[in-house]
Amino acid sequence: MSTVRVLVVDDYEPFRRFVCLTLEKRRDLQVIGEASDGLEAVRKVEELKPDLVVLDIGLPSLSGIEVARRIRKLSPKPAILFLSQGSSVDVAQEAFSLGAMGYVVKAYAGSELSAAVETVCQGRQFVSKGLAIHNWTSGPHAQAPNDMFQQELVPPLVRAEPKITHSHKAHFYSDDAALFLDVSCFIEAALKDGKPVIVVATESHRRSLLERLLARGVDALAAIEQGLYLPIDVDEVLSKFMVDDQPDFVRCLKVIGDLISSATKTANGEHARVAAFGEIAPTLWARGKADAAILVEQATQELARTRNMDILCGYVLSSFQCEQDHIYERICAEHTTVCAQ
């Protein structure tokens, strides 16, 4: 199986590192270079001759659109996957008209980037759901995004690797009592199945969940001693990746990833399935940091794609949060399943 050689182009270093870390998880991808502006990107395409260019649109010196135009004059070979802050259909159409094979809205990169790269490597087109949510209007003349940007298939760059199964659920609760009942059942079932369990929650919620488990006859204290039940304070976790009161995406990936790795060490084999209940994103949203909460959910979804995991995110919503439909929809979009109780 041949290796796909990738050039990553983005002017924001932390996001560029996130892209590189995501790509480096696949054995069949090799990041051969990085660029932070448009002219540098064109020079590196000519010099390195990559198979795939992951390309930002908002770049210094030359826009990503102009970079793609110049790349196509140099060579028809590199596949181009666009990453953009914007969700404009007009911009996306121009990008695809230049021969791009994929377009990901950055707000959805946490949940879409891996799938987009895999799809493009298979020679198929990928269109971000961010374009659908913001720009796909209803009516007799409306078009679904995949119809709007349809291209011929191209030969695949690489065979797809086997899918890793994961579950990333968001449950929305009316009050704490509903949360305790549901989450204690989730934890009990996981422990009975021999799965290591991570619980990242507030102090009061960790205490109440432990009381519930003991009342249900679950020997949670023994599980803690054995390292199979890891109750962790949410503020302790937040302190490890928050920078200037905002989450650092790359640090967030590492901190949560380290928790998962720690849990798997106590189980039989490095590929053991892990169960996790988390209040990191719910805590951030409750504190008025909705964008930060969404970024954490994107990081969690990205990690979940590469691990065999069952993740439950528990939200007890205030009346004010219930009115924020746009935030609710964006959080739901980062999960495989959504449930309200």
Q: In this predicted model, what pLDDT tens digit does every residue of 197-253 receive, in sequence order?
A: 999 999 999 999 999 999 999 999 999 999 999 999 999 999 999 998 889 988 898
Residue with tokens 């849990």: 263
The domains spanning 4-148 and 166-340 adopt the same CATH topology: yes
What does the pLDDT average to over 119-136?
76
* Residue percentage of the chain with pLDDT more than 70: 88
Q: Residue 303 contacts by C-beta under 8 Å, 6 or more apart in sequence?
A: 253, 256, 257, 260, 309
Give the class (CATH, top level) of 4-148.
alpha beta
The whole-number pLDDT of residue 278 equals 95
Mean pLDDT, to the nearest integer, of 68-94? 88
Q: How far apart are CA 98 and CA 135, in angstroms?
A: 21
Helix axes of 290-305 and 325-333: crossing angle, nearest 10 degrees: 10
C-alpha–C-alpha distance, residues 305 and 318, integer Å: 30
pLDDT of residue 165: 64
Structural domain boundaries in the chain? 4-148, 166-340
**Which residues in 85-119 are b (16+ Cβ under 10 Å) and which e?**
ebbebebbeebbebbbbbbbbbbbbbbbbbebbbb
Q: For residue 139, what pLDDT band results from cuts at 50, 70 and 90?
A: very low
Tell me how far apart the 2 most distant CA atoms of the chain are, in Å.
69
User: Which band of pLDDT confidence, cut at 50, 70 and 90, is reported for residue 309?
Assistant: confident
Fold of 166-340: Rossmann fold (3.40.50)
Residue 92's pLDDT band (cuts 50, 70, 90):
confident
Q: What is the pLDDT of residue 273?
A: 84
* 200/304 Cα distance (integer angstroms): 16
252 in Cβ contact with 296 (< 8 Å):
yes
Tell me, what DSSP letter sits at residue 330?
H
Residue 83 burial (10 A CB sphere; 0-12, 13-18, 19+): buried
pLDDT at 312 over 70: yes
Kindly report which listed range (149-153, 169-173, 238-242) carries the lowest average pLDDT score. 149-153
Model confidence band, residue 150 (pLDDT cutoffs 50, 70, 90): low
pLDDT computed for residue 162 by the predictor: 46
Average pLDDT of the residues in 39-63: 94
pLDDT per position as a tens digit, 245-300: 889 988 898 899 888 888 887 665 555 789 999 999 999 999 999 999 999 998 88
Lowest-pLDDT range of 25-29, 55-59, 131-135: 131-135
Does the pTM surpass 0.85? The reply is no
Instruction: Using the structure block, give the residue that is written with the tokens 């803690």.
Output: 224
Residue 271 identity: H
Q: In degrees to the nearest 10, what's the CA dihedral of 325, 331, 333, 339?
A: -80
DSSP 81-123: EEEES---HHHHHHHHHTT-SEEEEGGGHHHHHHHHHHHHHTT
